[in-house]
Amino acid sequence: MHTQSLLHQVLQMPQVYLFMRELEEALAKEQEARAKYYELMDAHKRVEFINGEITTTILDSDKHNMISQRIAKVLQKYIETNQLGTLFVADAHVFLTRNTYIPDICFFSKEKTKYFTPKQTKYPAPDLVIEIISRFSERIDKMIKFVDYEAHQIPEYWIVDPERGFVEQYHYDKTEYEMILKTNHGTLRSFAIKGFEVSIEAIFDSELTKKTL
């Protein structure tokens, strides 16, 4: 649901001021919980803060890790060769307005990384986010994170399904995400990483990944 539509619904409520008071109290408690999350960041690297709750990321399978590594290798080589920016693999705490995520893979352009510092631990919205779904994370990746990434106008979002061998690619266009593709074959061309393209089959096949590299 878009912000304007939700706002319209709230304004139709006769008790809107009471609702706002309760909402402010709930958000204040949520910020207290988020402060506790900060304390856990170093000790538990794969911990996210989502809608008021501290959530531990569960890696579902070795296949998840292998696909993540394949995508990261191909991207990293292209980004470094062309000096386009910085790639993080499961180690960037992305701080959005309400929630804090650790994307499986995310990319920041040179325009953003020039403001980064060596000791930085909190990062802004990336230019590209890639989430590799599992049975534990599918709802969060496809619903909560999707809406949040869209609301923060992250230019590009890939959802990779290691079990079905599918990739979904979304591009932010004016007000919302546009689905560019959802397929298990063909070529994926990035919007955020200029000139980058990869065979979707190579993401799921180690030999094809080697050829791509």
Contact assessment for residue 162 and residue 136, using Cβ atoms and an 8 Å cutoff = no
Q: Are residues 11 and 90 in the same domain?
A: no
Q: Check whether 90 has a pLDDT greater than 80.
A: yes
- Domain that residue 8 falls in: 1-40
Q: Are residues 36 and 62 in the same domain?
A: no
* Region 109-133 average pLDDT: 95
**Model confidence pLDDT, tens digit, residues 49-80:** 999 998 887 666 788 889 999 999 999 999 99
Q: Are residues 139 and 207 in the same domain?
A: yes
* Region 153-179 average pLDDT: 96
Q: Are residues 91 and 24 in the same domain?
A: no
- Long-range contact pairs involving 137-142 (C-beta distance under 8 Å, separation at least 24): 137/57, 137/58, 137/60, 140/50, 140/55
Q: Are residues 26 and 105 in the same domain?
A: no
- Look at residue 48 and tell me if it is in a domain: no
**Model confidence pLDDT, tens digit, residues 1-53:** 567 787 788 778 888 888 888 888 888 888 888 888 777 776 556 789 999 99
Q: Are residues 123 and 171 in the same domain?
A: yes
Q: Are residues 67 and 34 in the same domain?
A: no
Q: Are residues 156 and 118 in the same domain?
A: yes
